[in-house]
Amino acid sequence: MIWLQVIVVLSAIIIGTRLKGISLGIMGGLGLAILAFFFHLQPTEPPFCVLLIITSVITAAGTLEAAGGLGYLSSLAEKAIKKYPHRITFIAPLITYIFTFLVGTGHIIYSILPIIATVAKETGIRPERPLTTSVIAAQQAAMASPISAPTAILIGLLAPHGIELLDMLCILIPATLGGMLITTLVINKTGKELSEEPGYAEFLKTSQETNHNNVSTPLSKVTTSAKLSVILFGVGILFIILLGAFKGLRPSWEKSGKLIPMDMSIVIAIMMLSIAALIVLICKLKPTEITKASVFTGGIQAVISILGISWLGDTFVNANQAQIMELVQAQILKHPWQFSIILFCMSILLVSQTATIRALIPLGLTLGIPALTLLAAVPAVNGLFFIPNYPTLLAATNLDSTGTTRIGKYILNHSFMLPGLIATSSAVLIAFGLVKYLF
């Protein structure tokens, strides 16, 4: 019976992934209906905490975009990249990492990718190198950002086991940054030079290098409101980090004779909504503009996807916990690092770091894997690159008019495979090393 349920879950994931958009969420809902009405599995509690955090973060990010803050950040990125064009393979991934870390979502890089592609071509650098590493860097940064959805979920899941926000950042930031650095060093030497590419001479004759005129936002046109929105957003992130690092700064209430500080997931939600409100009031922004922001609309799609697929996964795992534990517990407890392989494979199927963490970290805790080991394994959820259907991968591929960034004939032999594997495996290894020596 459990294998029929597995087929239902996998079918919902595969069909939802192929149809794209909010399909992952609604197919997850259909799968849940089949499990509940045909297999009589009791649905678990919907992931309200997760949805609360994601909704508040995308509201703040959407407000930042509507106020011109993302455009301002993009113009700063363009200035930095054009200042050192010959080092673009190293600078571009660092910029996408920082921006994703600050905003909490990798979708911010859509405005930066055209700049990277254009500058690389103009400089004679193989665009595949900075484009692929920049996309992978953004995925890595999303796992280290204190306000990203997957990190927020981790806080809620691991806090009861003694892991605080500062502990997570001490592991995930150096691990993902280290993985990114190793990746750029390797990728900087891979592939032919652009001038040696077949057909590049013809490309130079026919290509119209105009992308940069359409995608950049000159610094002279940046408004005061845009700068203020970035400052307010940055202050909000700083407050979240401080409140996560020092429990005494959080409001607390007495419960059963003990002082219980405000949960960090609630802190993040309150701070993000407050920052959105301050940006609207101080920058005199029309609230209707927020719902038109691309970050907001993309985030709402993520909310629906996570609602359906996480609820489906939770219900399946909860109902079959005994069988799953019997199947994998002995091997996983003997070699806990192997749980990172499970995380990686599931992230490929779910195409979501957030959904993967929401579905599997509770299972890992149930299996008896130490919370610190799970934290070290978390960078493995960056398997989004494996099948080249993720939006940022497709955007980078389409922007490279030289054809160096490509999806191969056999699908999996694509430009993002090598940098993705290097970054993810390196980050996991560094994280396990840090956990061993810091805790």
Check pLDDT > 80 for residue 204: no
Looking at residue 411, its pLDDT comes to 75
What band does 206 get if pLDDT is binned at 50, 70 and 90? low
Give the residue from 367, 320, 310 showing the smallest Cα distance to 339: 367
Looking at residue 199, its pLDDT comes to 60
Check pLDDT > 60 for residue 288: yes
Looking at residue 218, its pLDDT comes to 46
With beta carbons less than 8 A apart as the criterion, state whether 28 and 309 touch. yes
Please identify which residue in the block is written with the tokens 């192997």: 338
409 torsion bin: left (phi>0), alpha (psi -120 to 50), beta (else): alpha
Residue 435 CA to its chain's centroid (Å): 22
β-strand partners of 259: 254
Looking at residue 303, its pLDDT comes to 84
Contact partners, residue 225, CB within 8 Å, separation at least 6? 67, 68, 283, 284, 285
Q: Who has greater pLDDT, 277 or 368?
A: 277
Check pLDDT > 60 for residue 213: no
Looking at residue 380, its pLDDT comes to 96
Q: How many CB atoms lie within 10 A of CB 403?
A: 14
What pTM, to 2 d.p., does this model score?
A: 0.81
Looking at residue 202, its pLDDT comes to 61
Q: Which helix (H) or strand (E) holds 363?
A: helix 353-366
Looking at residue 352, its pLDDT comes to 79
pLDDT tens profile 327-349: 777 778 788 889 999 999 888 87
What band does 293 get if pLDDT is binned at 50, 70 and 90? confident
With pLDDT > 70 as the criterion, what percentage of the chain qualifies? 94
Separation between Cα atoms, residue 206 and residue 208, nearest integer Å: 7
Looking at residue 217, its pLDDT comes to 43
What band does 219 get if pLDDT is binned at 50, 70 and 90? very low
Looking at residue 346, its pLDDT comes to 84
Largest CA distance in the chain: 77
Could you tell me the CA-to-CA distances from 294 to 65, 137, 300, 385, 398 in Å, in that order?
8, 21, 10, 22, 19
Signed CA dihedral, 393, 127, 429, 386: sign only: positive
Q: Who has greater pLDDT, 150 or 377?
A: 377
Q: Who has greater pLDDT, 46 or 91?
A: 91
pLDDT tens profile 127-171: 999 999 999 999 999 999 988 888 888 888 898 898 988 999 999
Length of the chain equals: 439
Give the residue from 343, 347, 381 showing the smallest Cα distance to 363: 343
The token duo for 162 is 């003694």
Check pLDDT > 90 for residue 49: no
Separation between Cα atoms, residue 396 and residue 403, nearest integer Å: 11
Contact partners, residue 318, CB within 8 Å, separation at least 6? 42, 44
The token duo for 233 is 């957003």
Question: SS3 for 258?
Answer: strand
Q: Which residues of 164-178 are buried (b: 16+ CB within 10 A; e: fewer)?
A: bbebbbbbbbbbbbb
pLDDT tens profile 9-37: 889 888 887 787 788 889 999 999 999 99
Separation between Cα atoms, residue 349 and residue 354, nearest integer Å: 12
Contact partners, residue 230, CB within 8 Å, separation at least 6? 64, 69, 72, 73
Looking at residue 144, its pLDDT comes to 94
Check pLDDT > 70 for residue 50: yes
Signed CA dihedral, 342, 348, 354, 359: sign only: negative
Check pLDDT > 50 for residue 271: yes
pLDDT tens profile 391-432: 788 889 888 888 888 887 777 889 999 999 999 999 999 999
Give the residue from 275, 267, 294, 278 showing the smallest Cα distance to 391: 294
Looking at residue 185, its pLDDT comes to 96
